Amino acid sequence: MAFCSFMSQSAGVKKASLFKPRSKERGETLSRTFMTLQQLIQRIKQKKELQDINDDFVKEQLLAYFKQNPRHRAILTAKLNPKSALTIKIIKSIRAQLRRVYGLFRSSDDPALDLSLIKKVAASASSERKKIIAAILQSHASTKERVSFYTELYRKIIAVTGKPTVILDLGCGLNPLSIPWMNLKRVAYHAYDLHEQEVIFLNSFFQVMKINGRAVVADISRSSVVSALPKADLCFVFKMTDIFDQGRGHKASEMVIRSVPARFVVVSFPTVTMSGKKMNFPRRKWIELLSRRLGYSYSVLEFSNEIFYVITKG
Ligand SMILES: C[S@@+](CC[C@H](N)C(=O)[O-])C[C@H]1O[C@@H](n2cnc3c(N)ncnc32)[C@H](O)[C@@H]1O
């Protein structure tokens, strides 16, 4: 089975302070040091909730920032003090962007990603395994509520799609841990996320559970990445459209739905607000209009706090 690897796995990045003089012998001072792109990336990642994010993704955000603010590129070529107002402004801006798409959902010392949990799964009898996995799923906001309806959800999805043999899971989070609820004997599962520690955790899970799966660090907001994914029957895009679109229409989500090489795409949305209130109108008209415009059909599955659109493309 061919798996894509779009981004380097953990780059073995030094966590040491960036702005230490390179050589004490040469007596370089902080203010005389040029800042490389890599140093800037590491400085941005010096926040607990951002430290497991993939370097290449941070680099892309920086390059996009410099494209919009070409004069700020000087930070890489001028002998700026690393504590200059410009440096701080850039770092703050990129961190805010990263938190919007990523950091909100993350903690680098996430107890759910402790590999000893996988060892616990490995050491337990198969009858006990689902209970331990359910506890891990329950520890995460996105998957927590689903534990009570995963069986029904997958049964209803498969009633529309038929039994899939290849599944993609974009921005997977911990959702791949729910594979035992799918009741599928033979399935190849490809999961993608930016979170490096999570990807390592999921790969250990696949190994222990003897699942034909692989998690990969990839930025699935890029069309070149999405269209090059392995051909699949079914693709999960759970709670991801706000991250793709960031309040700027729905072109980014449309790109993902159109480009992904899967006939069936399941897109989900929360139906409770951030403050926990049930939404009065949980349906997302835009995805219904988009599907009609593109000649796709869809079925709607509503659960207590999440709505799923099972889209059939062509
Ligand atoms: C709201 S959570 C959803 C997790 C999962 N889909 C679920 O519903 O259980 C968002 C996930 O998307 C990941 N993510 C955000 N932007 C991404 C990107 N551009 N490429 C890949 N993963 C991304 C985050 O790391 C996080 O795991």
Task: Compute, in angstroms, the gap from residue 193 CA to the centroid of ligand 1.
Answer: 6
Q: Which amino acid is at 192?
A: Y
Report residues whose beta carbon is within 6 angstroms of any ligand 1 atom: 101-102, 105, 142-143, 171-173, 175, 192-195, 219-221, 238-240, 243
Whether 58 and 41 have beta carbons less than 8 Å apart is answered as yes
Provide the CA 160 distance to its chain's centre, in angstroms.
26
**Domains (ranges, CATH) in the chain?**
30-105 (no CATH), 111-312 (3.40.50.150)
The pLDDT value recorded for residue 233 is 97
User: Percentages helix, strand, coil for the chain, rounded to the nearest 5?
Assistant: 45, 15, 35
Q: For residues 238 and 157, what is the distance between their CA atoms, to the nearest angstrom?
A: 13
168-212 residue pLDDT tens: 999 999 999 999 999 998 999 999 999 888 999 999 999 999 999
Radius of gyration of the chain (CA): 21
Kindly report the backbone phi and psi dihedral angles of residue 64, in degrees, each rounded to the nearest multiple of 5, phi listed first. Answer: -65, -40
Angle made by CA atoms 266, 202, 104, in degrees to the nearest 5: 70
Task: Compute, in angstroms, the gap from residue 172 CA to the centroid of ligand 1.
Answer: 6
Nearest to 89 by CA among 44, 153, 26: 44
> What does each of the 314 residues of the chain score in pLDDT, given as a tens digit?
333 334 433 333 332 222 233 333 333 344 445 678 888 899 999 988 788 788 888 888 888 888 888 888 877 777 666 778 888 999 999 998 888 766 555 555 566 677 888 888 889 888 889 999 998 898 888 898 899 999 999 999 999 999 999 999 999 999 999 999 999 989 999 999 998 889 999 999 999 999 999 999 999 999 999 999 999 999 999 999 998 998 889 999 999 999 999 999 999 999 987 777 889 899 999 999 999 999 999 999 999 999 999 999 98
Residues in CB range of 103: below 8 A, 6 or more apart: 47, 49, 50, 53, 95
The pLDDT value recorded for residue 146 is 95
The pTM is what? 0.78
Whether 124 and 132 have beta carbons less than 8 Å apart is answered as yes
Token pair recorded at residue 55: 């370097």
Residue of the CA atom closest to atom 27 of ligand 1 = 173
The pLDDT value recorded for residue 311 is 98
The pLDDT value recorded for residue 79 is 67
The pLDDT value recorded for residue 314 is 82
Task: Compute, in angstroms, the gap from residue 202 CA to the centroid of ligand 1.
Answer: 14
The pLDDT value recorded for residue 80 is 65
Q: Using the 8-state DSSP alphabet, how is residue 108 labeled?
A: T
